[in-house]
Structure 1
Amino acid sequence: MLQSPKYLTGDSAAINEFLDKFDVFLLDCDGVLWSGDHLFEGIVETLEMLRSKGKRIVFVTNNSTKARPDYQKKLTAMGIPSNVEEIFASAYSSAIYISRILKLPAPNKVFVIGESGIETELRTEGIPFIGGTDPALRRDITPEDFNGLADGSLLDPDVGVVLAGLDFHINYLKLSMAFQYIRRGATFLATNLDSTLPMSHTFFPGAGSISIPIVNMTGQTPIALGKPSQAMMDAIEGKFQLDRARTCMVGDRLNTDIQFGVEGKLGGTLAVLTGVNKKEHWEAADAVAVPAYYADKLSDLRGATS
């Protein structure tokens, strides 16, 4: 039987013991540091406290709409010091996977369902792509499109990968193109499989909800490059040279953040209650993962004694 998570809020001795166990903290962003554009109270001070204790911080996010420089701008605007190399997002993870692991023979373009963050990271790895934010695809499908997709004349023969992320302009045309490319043998990848996106104190469809129609059409499950994918964990370990036993994953979602840390055999996982999942979710008999620790909010770690 799994051991119950240790509750840290208000227990300075437990917080001190917790902090002493780890050198590196992998921090989810949405639902942990902020919700949308609302920064949770005490976050800046909490991160300053962790850094003052010599802890290394890596921001690990499944949101693919932003590239690492965009995330750094957001962190800076919220008063959180950071550098680009501390940020590991699913768009970057996807680009690394395509260029350094998949290594498809050229010419091989990526058909992107997603926003500019994916495009930016693909460019950094020198990966050619189509789709994405192309305004030519932000429209209704036409009878000519149906014909062009059916006979292949509307398709780029060099496309070898379909990469699906969060797309605020998803439509029937894009889904139809993705379907046809995969039918013709393209590799199906997803930046992440999050069903929802925390925003403005509620939830909206996430990247996983964008890829579900393609899964339904093709019968294929995409290789996911965000949490809880261990391809992402391996990439993080390789980049940061961290000791997994001295690393803690902090998140708000069991089936991404906590499962990511558990399956990655990290030294610990911390769930915060400011996002998707609550205590009753990991206490359920069918819980996908159980954290080692939990707190009401990340800033409760400031309850440590110096």
Structure 2
Amino acid sequence: MVRPSNWMNLPTKLISPTGKQVVFVTNNSTKSRADYRKKLEGLGIPSTVEEIFSSSYSASIYISRILQLPENKRKVYVIGETGIEQELGSENVKFIGGTDPAYRRDITPEDYKRIAAGDESLLDPEVGVVLVGLDFHFNYLKMALAYHYVKRGAVFLATNIDSTLPNSGTLFPGAGSMSAPLIMMLGQEPVALGKPSQAMMDSVEGKFKFDRSRTCMVGDRVNTDIRFGLEGKLGGTLGVLTGVSSKEEFVSGEIRPHAYLDKLSDLLDSE
């Protein structure tokens, strides 16, 4: 299993001729599996949609196939982007929120009153799940609605709880930053469906039927990728210094991979 960003600029001969099954596992919920396949294709990396396992897909599977929701509580309130919406749609799960422009506004004094009164024009009575992912238009209104849905009994889920997002050589708020205020308000942790959650590992194993003892997790972040592999009792974990974690973390941190490389293409030099 591998984090998709670690395959950038990697010769395809390291992937296909080995006869090994490759699964691309990502916590990025803003893109669907189809979006990721296009991205990998643009990098010259062969893949199919079925070889990609995203946190948005993992959450959609969990909602549609594992959660036992009442008939009248099967709608999902989404904090997130189109990747979540597309994957929920692929599982025929109804949802509100997400990229709907109606939620991309400031809260008003009237909103407070309507939410407090349980006005169904703001609080949909069919919502049984709140799903939180990375949302580039996160605001107070979205947060307030999510809080009240959970207080009314909705299941609290998160695509992933990454605190930060690497971009342009630095870090920005990650999906966990969307969940954090809700956790503080509710005094409740969400069920997380991305790395390092073993719910995601179980889902991947259920789909691909692999032997954990003969599987290696490749990634650049110790608290998600490497922890995912270690807690999943995979045969190996391989850290790469092309992303978030440093060599010092790989060598002497609390969570350490079995081995590490400067970049994944270094494997070619060992042939």
In the TM superposition, 1:4-19 aligns within 5 A as: none
What is the total number of aligned residue pairs between the two structures?
268
Letter in 2 for 1:228: P
State how 1:43-192 maps to structure 2 within 5 Å: 43=10, 45=11, 47-107=12-72, 108-153=74-119, 154-192=122-160
- Per-residue CA shift, 1:263-299, capped at 9, x if unaligned? 11100000011111112224446x2x21101011111
Letter in 2 for 1:114: G
Residue equivalent to 1:23:
none
Alignment partner, residue 193 of structure 2: 225
Give 3-state SS (helix, strand or coil) of 2:76's partner.
strand
The amino acid that maps onto 1:51 is S
C-alpha deviation, 1:233, in angstroms: 0.5
Structure 2 residue 16 is the aligned partner of structure 1 residue 28: no
For 2:209, the equivalent position in structure 1 comes to 241
Aligned residue for 1:276, secondary structure, equals: coil
Segments of structure 2 that go 5 or more residues without pairing to the other structure are none
Change (3 A) 1:283 1:76: closer
The residue that corresponds to 1:18 in the other structure is none
Runs of 4+ in 1 over 3 A off after TM superposition: 282-285
Q: Which amino acid aligns with 2:213?
A: A
User: Which residue of the partner structure matches residue 300 of structure 1?
Assistant: 266
Instruction: Say if 2:174 is the partner of 1:206.
Output: yes
Letter in 2 for 1:82: S
* Aligned partner of residue 166 in structure 2, secondary structure: strand
Residues 175-218 of structure 1: CA distance to partner in whole angstroms, max 9, x if unpaired?
00000001111110000011111112222111011110111111
TM-aligned CA distance change 1:81 to 1:163, over 3 Å: same
- TM-score (normalizing by structure 2): 0.96
* Secondary structure of 2:265 counterpart: helix
Q: Distance in 1 between matches of 2:251 and 2:265?
A: 23
Which string of whole-angstrom CA distances, capped at 9 and with x for unpartnered residues, describes residues 131-156 of structure 1?
Answer: 00110000111111111111110200
Amino acid at match of 2:51: E
How far apart, CA to CA, are the structure 2 residues paired with 1:280 and 1:200? 21
Q: Distance in 2 between matches of 1:243 and 1:188?
A: 31
Match of 2:172, SS? strand
* Partners of 2:65 and 2:101 in 1: CA distance: 29
* RMSD, aligned CA: 1.2
Question: Is 1:281 matched with 2:252?
Answer: no
Aligned partners of 2:250 and 2:260 also within 8 Å: no
Distance 1:201 1:302 in 2: 26
Percent identity between the two aligned chains: 63
One-letter amino acid of the structure 2 residue matched with residue 139 of structure 1: R
C-alpha contact 2:160 2:194 (8 A) present in aligned 1: yes
- Higher RCO, 1 or 2 (CA under 8 Å, sep at least 6)? 1
